[in-house]
Amino acid sequence: MTLHFAYFITPHGYGHAARATAVMNAIHARRPDVCFEIFTRVPTWFFKMSLQGAYNYHDVLTDIGLVQSTSMEEDLPGTIQQLGELLPYRPALVERLARQAQE
């Protein structure tokens, strides 16, 4: 029986994805039968290049991070606006993601 783990990873930079992938690889080393359900907008190539185990990729925005106007300057009003558009999560989205995580 395949064991499934769901990972919801922020696409804001690759640091969170790199750490999550390291944890997934450690789990896979101990349980090769595991399959990861990855929910993110981190590009699929990132996981193809770094994840050792089986996974299913679900393209969904899980977090906006901090909106930036430049690489060195944050945009707090833009962050607040985008958070207002994302949160609270729509009940239909939560139900769909829960179904996908359980499949």
Q: Is 103 a domain residue?
A: no
Q: Is 101 a domain residue?
A: no
Q: What is the pTM assigned to this prediction?
A: 0.88
Read off the pLDDT of residues 20-73 as tens digits, 9 standing for 90 and up.
999 999 999 999 999 999 999 999 999 999 999 999 999 999 998 899 999 899
Q: Is 71 a domain residue?
A: yes
**Domain range for 25:** 3-94
Q: Is 51 a domain residue?
A: yes
Cα–Cα distance, 39 to 43 (Å, whole number): 11
Residue 15's pLDDT band (cuts 50, 70, 90): very high
Residues forming beta bridges with residue 74, ordered by sequence position:
68
Residues with Cβ within 8 Å of 100's Cβ and at least 6 positions away in sequence, in order, are: 37, 39, 58
Judge whether residue 13 has pLDDT over 90: no
> What is the DSSP pairing of strand 34-40 with strand 73-74?
unpaired
* Domain total of the chain: 1
Q: Which two tokens stand for residue 43?
A: 């590009």
Q: Is 99 a domain residue?
A: no
